Amino acid sequence: MNIKTILNILSALLTILGLTMLFPAFVSWLYDESDVIFCLQSAGLAVFIGLPIWFMSRKSRKLRNRDGFIIVTFSGSLQRLLVHYHFIYPVLYQILRMHFLKQCLE
């Protein structure tokens, strides 16, 4: 399993996802909707994570079938996580806050 090649492809897909998320942000801004900030946050996070990893692993090019399965699995998971970031973050923040308060009160 070639980790550098897998990271190269996953980070390239993540960067492309972030750049394509700018179009929905533009449409949301055009219609004056409140989703602009969430689209920009998710796009920025995807590009912020994807570009540095791609630059660090851009020279690796060997792939096998097993690597292809890993790429497909992780690319779908990463994309879903970053696209739904604005739904996941507030819930996770509330859970951690309640857990912390519960421990402080005990």
What is the residue extent of each domain of the chain?
3-105
How far is Cα 85 from Cα 95, in angstroms, rounded to an integer?
15
Mean pLDDT of all residues belonging to the chain: 80
Query: What is the rounded (10 degree) CA torsion for 15, 18, 20, 26?
Result: -150
In the structure, what pLDDT confidence band is assigned to residue 86 with cuts at 50, 70 and 90? Answer: low
Check residues 95 and 46 and name the one with the higher pLDDT: 46
Nearest to 78 by CA among 10, 18, 12, 21: 10
* Cβ-based burial of 64 (10 A; exposed 0-12, middle 13-18, buried ≥19): exposed
In the structure, what pLDDT confidence band is assigned to residue 89 with cuts at 50, 70 and 90? Answer: low
Is residue 80 within 8 Å of residue 40, measured between CB atoms? no
Can you tell me the mean pLDDT for 70-87? 76
Check residues 51 and 95 and name the one with the higher pLDDT: 51
Q: What is the per-residue pLDDT for 93?
A: 66
Residue 24 has pLDDT above 80, yes or no: yes
Percent of the chain with pLDDT over 90: 2
Phi, psi dihedral angles at 12 (to 5 degrees): -65, -45
Tell me what percent of the chain is helix, strand and coil, each rounded to the nearest 5. Answer: 85, 0, 15
Nearest to 24 by CA among 42, 49, 2: 42
